[in-house]
Structure 1
Amino acid sequence: MGKRRWIGLMAVSALIAGGVAPGNAREAMRDRLRERLAEREARPKAPGGETISYGSDALQTLDIWRAQNAKGPAPLIVFVHGGGWKRGSKDNASGSFKPRHYPAEGYAFASIDYRLVPGATVEQQAADVAAAVKALVDRASGLGIDRRRIVLMGHSAGAHLVALVGTDERYLRGAGLSFADIAGVIPIDGAAYDVPAQMKDGPAIMQATYAQAFGTDPVRQKALSPTLQAAAPNAPQFLLLHVQRPDGVRQAEALGKALQAAGAKAEIESFPGTGLQGHAEINRRLGDPAYAATATVDAWLKRVLG
């Protein structure tokens, strides 16, 4: 048995010995691994960022970096972090490359916090995404932003949230916006675009997280599923990125087909990487010029935003 696997089994055994049920022990171990990955990937905040509150809750804040050397209002990328809808933050789950790379490419870049489960619902989280965009739109002239060239980008649970906001217009309407205010959406390696399917076929280790986020009501689960909300209208363009996790591949392809059938332009791009490590790497390294997904996203942004 490999050393890494032996250590993992010993850790799970210790949790079980401490009175944690086997299934919960595996979930607790996975939570600890995620937290360690987040800590390892955390970097000092890129210089030049400004923090803005977009609501009264302490988590309703965002950081924004202005476009460098912009000649006139700049396009805006709004990033939504992952973390199973219950953890993560703009400070440790955005990766270190994005707030440097995108402003250097001529885009303003914002990374948002949002209220977390169980203190908030997934519906409130999607509303937070829309509210953060509205706060930036309202400050567009002062921040040098072109309010008509906005792209939503999110990783993991954040990929689900930006896809949901990009397919169910009620969240944008609740903030006084519409799909006309969103030029495109980039979900990164999400795996809950069809919630009922993921709760049926997804990894057993994630089922407690899904149940906490989406509950047991099939009607609510469907309403929170971008794939099942993808009938027109939608945001006009999508770029779906995934690594080689079977459920992530399956879910991205199904969402892409649903969007295309509804008349939205949806591209699907596949990259190397498996398991939690590949899932984390595509987020951590996006914006690194040496990482393949960076060039793919850069080319798409230039086509969509000009």
Structure 2
Amino acid sequence: MKTATKALLAAAAIAAIASPILAQQRGQGRLPAECREEIMQLCGTQGQADRAKMRACLREKAAELSETCRTELRQRMEARGGREGARAGQGAGRFASGRVSSTVVYGDHLRQQVDVYTPNDAVGDAPLVLFVHGGGWQMGNHKATVQAKPQHFKDRGYVFASAGYRVLPDAPVENQAADIGAALRALRAQAESGGFDPDRIVLMGHSAGAHLAALVASDPQYAGDAFDAIKGVVLLDGAGYDVADAVARPTMELPTLYRDVFGTDPARHKALSPIAHVGGRDAPHWLALYVAERPGSKAQSEALAGALAKAGKDASAVAITGTDHGRMNRELGTEAGKAQTEAVDAFLERVFS
């Protein structure tokens, strides 16, 4: 099945699952598509047959939704007189992710923009953490996946930014990496108004976003003259740093995903594998976190970190227990995600000390 068809089916499946649970009373309208997708990523399919389970999930995890989605959800549920909506909104308010300070547009496509979250007391020399969302290279949203991260990093004195980029079928992986590079250059051009140091940047990515962050930080063609500003890289449970291995590994989760996204050309596999570029310029500091129970992510993270360390870079792969692929990202910056949060905070302090 072609990638474009699969992407359409995936979107249709999300809509089909979300519609019975997230549809609103007549006159209220449905939640925006981006918010429905975010809720399905957060709560999975557990609410398909039981609306109470979906409401319970939202009460428990409302703090992990984006500010936009929390507001949309609260307004609609309060309009219906739902006590669950009021409680979800009140609970989420304590963990607000912070308002977007500015949006940098770096291309003509709607996805080619970056949201910037700047601390109120930023004086122009704060480091920047640039986040790259996941989604299997064919979905995901830079607004919906920030959760508690903006406020957490702002509280620690960093400027946080979340990059959108084109996805399949509009753009192959090469163009996605080029988008991240273009976003990086556009951000640096507006560093003064954004309150951060253009030469002190860490890339952070989750899942497919971890692959893209690693590729941009190991292959200078994508970031161009902004490459040397990348001082460090944080990878959250990626499993595609060696594309050929990911495609061929019998135990790899979703093996057909990698074949559909990266094709069958060995030369392309190598070109899009961060591990194949190790030993060149490479960013100086790397932290690869992986879910301890995911063998594919473990193997790929340890292989990349090992190759980087052998090449003389500061690189480590760290297992995180008691979490899963989605929670690794969603809970970063919260008490529930204490293990990955502490690992990332310690890494950033070392990079920017």
Please indicate, yes or no, whether the TM-score normalized by the shorter chain is above 0.5. yes
Determine helix, strand or coil for the equivalent of 2:223: helix
Residue 311 (structure 2) pairs with residue 259 (structure 1): no
Residue 320 (structure 2) pairs with residue 271 (structure 1): yes
Q: Which runs of 4+ in 1 moved over 6 A?
A: none
Determine helix, strand or coil for the equivalent of 1:77: strand
- Whether the aligned pair in 2 keeps the contact of 1:38 and 1:92 (CA below 8 Å) is no
- Whether the aligned pair in 1 keeps the contact of 2:124 and 2:191 (CA below 8 Å) is no
Aligned equivalent of 1:43? 66
- Whether the aligned pair in 2 keeps the contact of 1:152 and 1:162 (CA below 8 Å) is yes
Change (3 A) 1:59 1:28: closer
Determine helix, strand or coil for the equivalent of 1:126: helix
- Whether the aligned pair in 1 keeps the contact of 2:291 and 2:325 (CA below 8 Å) is yes
Larger radius of gyration: 2
Match of 1:196 among 224, 241, 244: 244
Aligned equivalent of 1:123? 174
After TM superposition, the structure 1 = structure 2 runs for residues 189-228 of structure 1, keeping only pairs within 5 Å, are: 189-201=237-249, 203=251, 206-228=254-276
Where do 5+ consecutive residues of structure 1 fail to align?
Answer: 1-23
Shift of the alpha carbon at 1:93?
A: 2.3
Distance of 1:39 and 1:266 partners within structure 2: 30
Change (3 A) 1:185 1:168: same
Change (3 A) 1:72 1:62: closer
- Whether the aligned pair in 2 keeps the contact of 1:78 and 1:153 (CA below 8 Å) is yes
- Whether the aligned pair in 2 keeps the contact of 1:118 and 1:212 (CA below 8 Å) is no
Shift of the alpha carbon at 1:177?
A: 2.2
- Whether the aligned pair in 2 keeps the contact of 1:67 and 1:105 (CA below 8 Å) is no
Higher relative contact order (CA 8 A, sep 6+): 1
After TM superposition, the structure 1 = structure 2 runs for residues 40-189 of structure 1, keeping only pairs within 5 Å, are: 40=43, 42-45=65-68, 46-49=97-100, 50-94=102-146, 96-173=147-224, 176-178=225-227, 180-189=228-237
Distance of 2:66 and 2:128 partners within structure 1: 22
Matched pairs, number: 273
Residue 281 (structure 2) pairs with residue 230 (structure 1): no
Shift of the alpha carbon at 1:270?
A: 1.1
- Whether the aligned pair in 2 keeps the contact of 1:68 and 1:107 (CA below 8 Å) is no
Distance of 1:212 and 1:93 partners within structure 2: 24
TM-score of the superposed pair, with normalisation by structure 2: 0.73
TM-score of the superposed pair, with normalisation by structure 1: 0.83
Shift of the alpha carbon at 1:243?
A: 0.8
Where do 5+ consecutive residues of structure 2 fail to align?
Answer: 1-5, 18-35, 44-63, 69-96
Q: Which amino acid aligns with 1:301?
A: L
Determine helix, strand or coil for the equivalent of 1:196: helix
Distance of 1:132 and 1:202 partners within structure 2: 35
Change (3 A) 1:37 1:273: farther
Q: Which amino acid aligns with 1:255?
A: L
Q: Deviations 1:230-261 (Å, cap 9, x if unpaired)?
A: 12220111011111201000000000111111
Q: Which amino acid aligns with 1:38?
A: Q
After TM superposition, the structure 1 = structure 2 runs for residues 240-251 of structure 1, keeping only pairs within 5 Å, are: 240-244=288-292, 245-251=294-300
Aligned equivalent of 1:293? 340
- Whether the aligned pair in 1 keeps the contact of 2:214 and 2:233 (CA below 8 Å) is yes
Shift of the alpha carbon at 1:28?
A: 5.6
Q: Deviations 1:106-159 (Å, cap 9, x if unpaired)?
A: 000000110001210101111111111111100011111101110000000000
Judge which range, 200-209 or 55-64, deviates more.
200-209
- Whether the aligned pair in 1 keeps the contact of 2:249 and 2:255 (CA below 8 Å) is no
Distance of 2:164 and 2:214 partners within structure 1: 17
Shift of the alpha carbon at 1:104?
A: 1.0
Shift of the alpha carbon at 1:203?
A: 4.8
Distance of 2:65 and 2:215 partners within structure 1: 27
